[in-house]
Structure 1
Amino acid sequence: MRLSLLTLTILMTATAVDASTDDAWAKLNLTVAKTCAAASGLKHAHVSEIVQFDDTLGKVATLVSGVFPQKALKGAHGKMLCIFDKASGKAWIDEAKGWSAPDLR
C-alpha cells in the first residue's frame, strides 16, 4: 500500500510540474514575441519561432519581420534579429538583412 501511495504521489507531482512548465514556456514565448515586436519598431510585425540557448546563457533569439515605419523607406519590408534576456526582460534589436525564419505558430 505504501508503495502505491508513493508512486501515486510521484506521478501527480510530475504531472503538475509538466503542466506548470508548459504554462511557463507559453508565457515566456508570449512575452518574448510582444517585447521583440515592440522593440523592432516594425509595422505589422511577425515574430518567428524562438531559438532557445543553453540555460546558462539566459537569453533567447527570434527574428521579427515587418514593414519599416519611415515614410522615406516607402513601405520597405525589413527583418530584425531580437535577443531577449529572460532575467531582465530586456530586448536587443539589430537589422538582419537576408535572414529568414518561419513565423511563430
Structure 2
Amino acid sequence: MKTVKKPNKWKHVVYLILALAMLVYALPLISFDPWAGWVSLFGAVWAGFAFLVIGAHLHFLLGVNEEKQRELDKIRRAKLREWELKWQEEGGRGQSV
C-alpha cells in the first residue's frame, strides 16, 4: 500500500515571506490617488492579488484543511478497496473460464 507523504510546509513559508516582502516593498510606491486613473486601478488590483496569495499560504500553514484532507484520504482508501475487490472478482471469473 502507498504511504501518504506529509506536505512540505517550507515551500509555503518561503512563498509567504516572498509575497509579504513584495507587498511591503510595493505598497509605498503604489499611487492610490483617485486622479491617477489606470495606475491607481492597477495598484489596487495588484495589491488585492498579493493579499490573496498571502491568505492562501496562511490558510495552508494554519492547517485549516486538515480535517477535510483526512476525509478525502478516507474516501480515497475506500475507493481503492472497492477497486481491489472489483479487480479480484473480475480476475476470479476470468480464471474459471
User: Same-fold call, TM > 0.5?
Assistant: no
Higher relative contact order (CA 8 A, sep 6+): 2
More helix by percentage: 2
TM-score class, shorter-chain normalisation, is 0.3 to 0.5
Structure whose alpha-carbon radius of gyration is higher: 2
For normalisation by structure 1, the TM-score amounts to 0.33
For normalisation by structure 2, the TM-score amounts to 0.35
More strand by percentage: 1
